[in-house]
Amino acid sequence: MATAIVVGGGIGGMAAALALHGRGWSVEVLEQAPEITEVGAGISLWSNALRALDAIGVGDRVRGQAIDGTSAGIRDTRGRWLSRADLAALRERFGTPVILHRAVLLDILRSALPAGALRTGISVREARTDGTVVHSAGTSTADLVVGADGLRSVVRRAVCGAVEPRYAGYTAWRAVVDLADPPANFGETWGRGARFGIAPLKDGRLYCFAVYNAAEHAPGSLDEVRARFAGWPAPIPALLAAADPDTVLHNDIYELPALPTFTAGRIALLGDAAHAMTPNLGQGGCQALEDAVVLARYAADPGGLARYDRERRPRTRMITRRSAQVGVLGQLSAAPLVALRNTVLRLTPASAQLRSMAPVLDWTC
């Protein structure tokens, strides 16, 4: 039986392990965290990601987290619609997207793995192209090593050497909150150099995020974020007031430069370890799920890793570029440019928005 070591127990790592297991591989997932916890944020799963989840057998469970009857789009800081999504057309063309807590998705993936496949509290120190992994519990070897260990990947060093992520110029605060009087409309609000997003979760809570231009590593506090968005339309101030400082997440936003390869020897990179992108299209996790399915499809074939690399690098590079472009528009701060952006958004028909989404969402297994 072919063996695989997956470094990283996040969404991409769990999905890769499950996809490989489904094709007869013996899998072991090494995760440095001592336990997989509830702390986290929401994630958007579009039609391409749902097809990948179908391929590994958990698509229906994830679709069970979908919520019908919501509205979405982009508003300005006076609460006026700049762009309103045609959700009926979106569902007809691409299917219903699902927004859920990352912990829920991880639990679905983890519960489908064989018992004992996940090893927590294991810190990987080095990966080698011959399939050797040096970690805090010793040394392991496998026919395949999957680097799913994120933006600061240790495994990536064996494939591409030292690669420094690029700071996108803005920082993000994310929270999952309860609100006594939840809003009827969801989506994003765009201002000058700042954005705020709201999405409902199946359990009645709300996922929200605040993004604003800032220097890299700039200190900040939740109180400062509350003050920054205090004058924004309801329910934004109420959501920030309800956020728990102990569970809110604060991260500067980074992306990886385009790598020359995702593979070397017996190693394959996926997810953020291969193509960390800004979150502006909601495709980071979706692309990791695609990676997992494609890698499992080819991994056992002669030259299979090279084929995985040829298939995944161009697509993820295209999506990374598009996501960065949306971020540039969303984070404009000069008043004349913001006014022009808002005018263009108001004049762009919903049909054009749907067409622009097709190259990203039309992926099939």
Q: 10-residue block means of pLDDT along the chain (365 residues)?
A: 96 98 97 79 94 97 82 91 87 88 94 94 97 96 98 97 96 93 86 96 92 95 96 95 93 97 98 98 97 98 97 98 97 98 94 91 91
Q: How confident is the model at residue 39, as a pLDDT? A: 64
Q: How confident is the model at residue 91, as a pLDDT? A: 85
Q: How confident is the model at residue 180, as a pLDDT? A: 82
* Tally of CA atoms within 13 A in the half-sphere of 193 that contains its CB: 9
DSSP strands (E only) in the chain: 3-7, 26-31, 42-45, 73-75, 81-84, 98-101, 118-120, 124-127, 132-135, 138-141, 144-147, 166-177, 187-190, 194-200, 206-213, 249-255, 263-264, 267-269
Q: Which 3 state secondary structure label does DSSP give 121?
A: coil
The number of beta carbons lying within 10 Å of the beta carbon of residue 68 is 7
Q: How confident is the model at residue 15, as a pLDDT? A: 98
Tokens 């179908």 belong to residue: 54
Q: How confident is the model at residue 271, as a pLDDT? A: 98
Q: How confident is the model at residue 41, as a pLDDT? A: 87
CA distances from 260 to 100, 264, 313 (A): 33, 11, 9
